Amino acid sequence: MVSVLEREVFSEAEAARLLRVAQSTLHYWLEGDERKGRRHKPVLRTEPRGGRSVTWAEFVEAGLLREYRRTHRVPMVELRAFIDLLREQFGVPYPLADRRPYVAGKKLVLEAQAEAGLDPEYCLVAAVGNQLLLTPPSAAFVERVTWDGDVAAGWRPDPNPQSPVRILPDVRFGRPSIKGISTEVLWEQDEAGLDVEEIAETYQLDVPDVRWALAYENSQRAA
């Protein structure tokens, strides 16, 4: 049985759109590339597998890389070795989609960062005084994930922490939704001329839910 993390949920193009990264960037993270006769391994996979599908775990892990991409340019040369070390230390195939490295495993993450020679600007954990703290990009990522135990079960695509919009692999085929209702469907109703109160009544949502959905969809289209 395929676990939720291994399930192919998105096409590469759709995943890139939802993450708001260039598809070429996401493809590099997933498949690597070859430049000037030199092969660059993938960042999120142990080996390229071809095709244009993206698993749920790969989507979530790409969400972390996106947090870095907001202020830094990729590629991250040492990240491949760092993720390999996390896989070994935590015994999981998708360490960035696992909650333990961000909570109870900060010391192991710190050690893996040092061993991999990870550039400080790409670190997940920093030592501050006698405490190990998440760096701002990794903290922002953790807050966007809905955790089911140690497994990433959902992701908030809206950067606003108050937004109820979620991407859930088992709901609406991974399309952004609020309480099980696709945000795109709500946006289409708004475009058709229904007012917010009518949309909320039709789909048994609260008016603020509809406003959040419309704000998210409008921001996607403005990007």
Q: Which helix (H) or strand (E) holds 38?
A: strand 38-40
pLDDT value, residue 2: 54
* Highest mean pLDDT pick, 57-71, 107-121, 151-165: 151-165
127 token code pair: 């030592």
Q: Which residues contact residue 130 at a Cβ distance below 8 angstroms, ignoring those fewer than 6 apart?
A: none
Instruction: Evaluate if residue 174 carries a pLDDT over 70.
Output: yes
| Residue percentage of the chain with pLDDT more than 90 | 68
Predicted confidence band at 74 (pLDDT cuts at 50, 70, 90)? low
The DSSP 8-state label assigned to residue 161 in this structure reads T
Predicted confidence band at 80 (pLDDT cuts at 50, 70, 90)? confident
Predicted confidence band at 168 (pLDDT cuts at 50, 70, 90)? very high
- Measured CA to CA, the distance from residue 156 to residue 162 in angstroms comes to 10
pLDDT value, residue 46: 85
**Selection from 136, 52, 141 nearest residue 95 by Cα:** 141
pLDDT value, residue 20: 92
123 token code pair: 């670190």
Instruction: Evaluate if residue 65 carries a pLDDT over 80.
Output: yes
- Measured CA to CA, the distance from residue 30 to residue 58 in angstroms comes to 8
Q: What is the pLDDT of residues 28-43, one digit of tens each?
A: 999 988 877 788 888 8
**Selection from 192, 180, 198, 190 nearest residue 215 by Cα:** 190
Q: What is the pLDDT of residues 119-154, one digit of tens each?
A: 888 889 999 988 999 999 899 999 999 999 999 999
